[in-house]
Structure 1
Amino acid sequence: MQIAARTREPAQLDAIALKAYARVAEAWGLAQKEAAALADMSESTWKRARKPGFAGELTRDQLLRLSALIGIYKSLELYFSEPLARGWFTRPNTGPLFGGARPIDSAIEGGLPQILAIRTHLDALRGGA
């Protein structure tokens, strides 16, 4: 399937990633400010990016963030039942990655490295490691 992804235009990949991430942000009940910060965008850019026909381009960092956040969402949906899966990212967590903070706040503050650490953590839980 990676071959198919490589044949798509960057604008198509951006549109797909933005659409999927918008659904994740909605499912998690994120405020616009939170969704924008996770995507490393201003709130005004996020408002525009959510609309079909967005002409802007995502940076490599933004695309990686969205991919990892979508992966976090998928892991949570597979690992937990729906109420916990939908609320996990926005509830305080005493786990070692979060120290009592909400995972979303940790991800916003830590940027892409922390987002990837959360994704790895959840993938390990899902895999039994």
Structure 2
Amino acid sequence: MQLAVKTRDPAEINAVALKAYARIADAWDLSLRESAGLADMSESTWKRAKKPGFAGELTKDQLLRLSAVIGIYKSLDLYFSDPLARTWFTRPNTGPLFGGARPVDTAIDGGLPQILAIRTYLDALRGGA
């Protein structure tokens, strides 16, 4: 017996990821600079990318960043209640990954490795590790 696997069009995947990321950026009240930096885009590209019908392509790095940020958002939503779940990413944090800085700033500065480290950190908190 063969299983039929529906492959998604890369443009469709990009559109879904960008729509979810734009909603998260709004929920976290990120500035244009922060939203663009976290996604590894210029501010002008991010302005275009967050609009429906964006025809540009995302790099693998950008798609991984968006995916990891979506995971961070979900972890925060499961681990904390509002308003902390919505403000945690933009509040100074003395945790081991942040040294008093805001997680969003360390994520922008550290790029994909730091974004993935934050995701792993939150997953560990959620799992009790």
TM-score range, shorter chain: over 0.9
Letter matched to residue 94 of structure 1: T
1:57-72 mapped onto 2 (5 Å cutoff):
57-72=57-72
4+ runs deviating over 3 angstroms: 3-6
1:79-90 mapped onto 2 (5 Å cutoff):
79-90=79-90
Residue matched to 2:47: 47
d(CA) in 2 for partners of 1:4, 1:14? 22
Q: Which has the larger radius of gyration?
A: 2
Change over 3 Å in CA distance of 1:6–1:59 after alignment to 2: farther
1:18-57 mapped onto 2 (5 Å cutoff):
18-57=18-57
Cα root mean square deviation, aligned: 1.5
d(CA) in 1 for partners of 2:13, 2:4? 11
Deviation at 1:4, TM superposition (A): 9.0
| In the alignment, structure 1 residue 11 sits paired with structure 2 residue 11 | yes
Residue matched to 2:124: 124
Change over 3 Å in CA distance of 1:4–1:37 after alignment to 2: farther
Residue matched to 1:112: 112
| In the alignment, structure 1 residue 73 sits paired with structure 2 residue 73 | yes
Change over 3 Å in CA distance of 1:28–1:9 after alignment to 2: same
- What are structure 2's unaligned runs of at least 5 residues? none
What is the TM-score normalised by the length of structure 2?
Answer: 0.95
Deviation at 1:21, TM superposition (A): 0.2
The structure with the largest helix share of the pair is 1
Identity across aligned pairs (percent)? 80
d(CA) in 1 for partners of 2:39, 2:13? 15
Change over 3 Å in CA distance of 1:4–1:90 after alignment to 2: farther
d(CA) in 1 for partners of 2:77, 2:26? 14
Residue matched to 1:96: 96
d(CA) in 2 for partners of 1:118, 1:50? 24
d(CA) in 2 for partners of 1:66, 1:123? 16
Deviation at 1:5, TM superposition (A): 8.5
d(CA) in 2 for partners of 1:57, 1:96? 35
Deviation at 1:15, TM superposition (A): 0.2
